[in-house]
Amino acid sequence: MPARLLLGLLIVLVMVVPASARDVVDMAGRSVTVPDHIDRVVGCVAPVNWMIYAVAPMKLAAFTSRPSDTDWQILDPRLKQRPVIGSFLGGQGVNRETLLAIDPDVVIFWGDGRSPVVQRWLRQLDQWHIPVVFVAMDRLQDYPATLEFLGHLLGEPQRGLKLARYGRCVLEQVATTVATIPVSQRRRVYYAQGNDGLETEPEYSFHAELIGLAGGCNVHKGVLKQRRGRDKITQEQVLMYNPEVVITAQRDFYEHAVDMPTWQQVQAIQSDQVLIIPDHPLNWFDRPPSMMRFLGLQWLAQSLYPQAVHLDMVETTRHFYQLFFGLTLSDEKVRDILDGTP
């Protein structure tokens, strides 16, 4: 066959044979066709992007919001040219032109896809021929399977498995240790949110799940009334709860609470048992829920039960940052992170 005719035939075949693809079953149980080799990934919100980054950093094709200076202490500087597209779930929305210019191989959503907002996005992205894959990220117990799933999806199965094994190990070790603490000795914990500390989360809210996983007893009982959480309670209820420990991400609240007569009546304030949640690069406890909760669980368990949970949090933190972000931190840097002054 003449070379020119052969070349022409190959060109025709390339034009008519579809790109290599595969079917995957996502974590919402949906069958989705995705490219065989995925190179450009977009997450629906920041916590999903951090999960993508942990598994396959250079495949993160865009940010949902502009990374902060603190973020860039961790993120690979080669990502500085990545565009900001906005969030699919809140904020100012997504910039359509930027998203289409990126032409992502897949968009990764968090949840089960049942909300009206997500349903609208599913229809829109389908029209743009962009596949959507769902992962599970509500409960910390979901994260090992999610990391393993992302590893297979993004062509990094060993990396995903390594991170998943770490997560399962943390969950198992903390559960085994706190199981030895008698119920009568479990510490009563209040999760304070808002500037006045009078917003909190009930016992069975995923926002506050680390309290139970760390062996604490959440004083605010009940179930999550709405997904965003933040049950509003009164100062009288706090006094009735009289927690032994208060945890909060709001330093302003803590600084004011110690001087407020009503809060001074609370046992946790009297005994200086207010724990300030570390938040580098994301909150270790909640808002947003993220993989940092693996570290947050160990920090909280050790803070609640230092006699039972024998962890060197400097070394534990350094190991986490090395494993998930590829960073080697000095003792001073780790202590700054733990103190909330990174």
Cβ pair 48, 154 in contact under 8 A: no
Phi, psi for 316 (deg, rounded to 5):
-65, -40
Mean pLDDT score, 82-108: 93
Longest dimension (CA), the chain: 94
Please report whether residue 5 resides in a domain.
Answer: no
Give the domain-ending residue among 139, 170, 201: 170
- Mean pLDDT (whole number) for 218-238: 84
pLDDT band of 12, cuts 50, 70, 90: very low
pLDDT of residue 18 exceeding 90: no
The verdict on 163 and 195 lying in the same domain is no
Whether pLDDT at 244 is above 70: yes
Structural domains in the chain (count): 3
Q: Is residue 9 part of a domain?
A: no
pTM (predicted TM-score): 0.91
pLDDT number for residue 72? 94
Decide: helix, strand or coil at residue 275. Answer: strand
Give the span between the Cα atoms of 201 and 261, in whole angstroms.
24
Residues 319 and 276 in one domain: no
Contacts 24+ apart (CB under 8 A), 147-153: 147/51, 147/54, 147/55, 147/291, 149/26, 149/27, 150/51, 150/52, 150/55, 150/56, 150/108, 151/55, 152/24, 153/24, 153/34, 153/38, 153/106
Last residue of a domain, one of 131, 146, 170: 170
DSSP state of 138: S
Tokens of 108: 């990764």
Is the pLDDT assigned to residue 125 strictly greater than 50? yes
The SS3 assignment for 5 reads helix
On whether both 251 and 331 belong to a single domain, the answer is no
In a domain, 261, yes or no: yes
Which residue's structure tokens are 């190991």? 319
Please check whether residue 213 is in contact with residue 140, taking contact to mean a CB–CB distance below 8 angstroms. Answer: yes
Assigned domain for 301 exists: yes
Between 338 and 19, the more confident residue is 338
Banded model confidence at residue 300, pLDDT cuts 50, 70, 90: very high
Separation CA 332–CA 338 (nearest Å): 10
Distance of alpha carbon 232 from alpha carbon 242, whole angstroms? 17
State the pLDDT at residue 224.
66
Decide: 208 and 191 in contact? Cβ < 8 Å: yes
* Residues 282 and 191 placed together within one structural domain of the fold: yes
CA count, 13 A, side-chain hemisphere, 52: 29
Whether residue 141 has pLDDT greater than 90: yes
pLDDT at residue 223, as a whole number: 66
Evaluate the omega torsion of the peptide bond into residue 288 and state whether it is cis, within 30 degrees of 0.
Answer: yes
User: For position 257, what pLDDT does the model report?
Assistant: 86
pLDDT at 252: 87
Number of H helices, E strands in the chain: 15, 11
Domain boundary among 104, 139, 170: 170
Query: Is residue 321 one of the residues assigned to a domain?
Result: yes
In a domain, residue 192? The reply is yes
Say if 4 falls within a structural domain.
Answer: no
Closest of 124, 136, 266, 83 to residue 190, by C-alpha: 266
Q: Are residues 198 and 119 in the same domain?
A: no
Tokens coding 14? 């390339």
Q: Is the peptide bond before 131 cis (omega within 30 degrees of 0)?
A: no
Mean pLDDT of 251-263: 87
- Tens of pLDDT, residues 171-227: 999 999 999 999 999 999 999 999 899 999 999 888 999 999 999 999 999 766 666
> Cα–Cα distance between 40 and 38 in angstroms, integer?
6
Does residue 2 lie within any of the structural domains? no
pLDDT of residue 16: 40
Tell me, what's the pLDDT at 19? 59
Are residues 292 and 279 both part of a single domain? yes
Range of the domain at 154: 17-170
Domain match, 114 and 212 both: no
**116 and 211 belong to one structural domain:** no
Q: What pLDDT does residue 101 have?
A: 97
Both 24 and 147 in one domain: the answer is yes
CA 81 to chain centre: 23
Average pLDDT, the chain: 91
Is residue 295 located within the same domain as residue 318? no
CATH number of the domain residue 192 falls in: 3.40.50.1980
| Residues 279-290 as b or e (16 or more Cβ within 10 Å = b) | bbbbbbbbbbbb
- Shared domain for 70 and 127, answered yes or no, is yes
Q: What angle do CA 49, 95, 72 make, to 5 degrees?
A: 40
Is the same domain home to 163 and 218?
no
